[in-house]
Amino acid sequence: MSRYTCELTEVHIVRRISLASVLVSLAVTVSAKDCSTSKGFTLQQSQQLSGVFVDTSHATLPGIRIQLLSGKKVIHDIRTNNQGAYDFGEVPAGSYKIRVLYGDHTFCAPLIQCNSKECQIEPELAINPKNTVTVR
């Protein structure tokens, strides 16, 4: 082997070792909790559940599939319209959850706040951390 060939080989080894150490030193987090299904909420009386979903920049979200669940049973399965609006109609008193289905669970389910008279569904859907990758 010529001296030139040995130097190229050493350079390739150094590059491979450097690349390997960079890859090993990266801490990648991918195991965040899926939030595509809301926490349970209880309607104390029958009420209309409708609204508009937007993303964190307040752009409307058309075509988002949302389900109203009672236990594990799907009560309503609808999509938002072109303006991001949804309407479950009049929902009887009971315990429910909302699941958001879009892509690979891109969005978290909305926050729902209830009092003795009604429940309010937060319009802003956050990005699901299950689908984010953090490199440290």
- Residue 108's domain comprises 41-135
pLDDT digits (tens, 9 = 90+) for 78-134: 999 999 999 999 999 999 999 999 887 688 999 999 998 899 999 999 988 875 555
For residue 93, being part of any structural domain is answered with yes
For residue 49, being part of any structural domain is answered with yes
pLDDT digits (tens, 9 = 90+) for 55-73: 999 999 999 999 999 999 9
Q: Regarding predicted confidence, which is higher, 21 or 47?
A: 47
For residue 1, being part of any structural domain is answered with no
For residue 30, being part of any structural domain is answered with no
Per-residue pLDDT band at 20 (split at 50, 70, 90): very low
Q: CATH number for the domain including 96?
A: 2.60.40.10
For residue 29, being part of any structural domain is answered with no
Task: Give the number of C-alpha atoms closer than 13 A to the C-alpha of residue 132, restricted to the C-beta side.
Answer: 12
For residue 32, being part of any structural domain is answered with no
* Whole-prediction pTM: 0.71
Q: How many domains is the chain built from?
A: 1
For residue 25, being part of any structural domain is answered with no
Residue 28 has pLDDT above 50, yes or no: no
Residue 29 has pLDDT above 50, yes or no: no
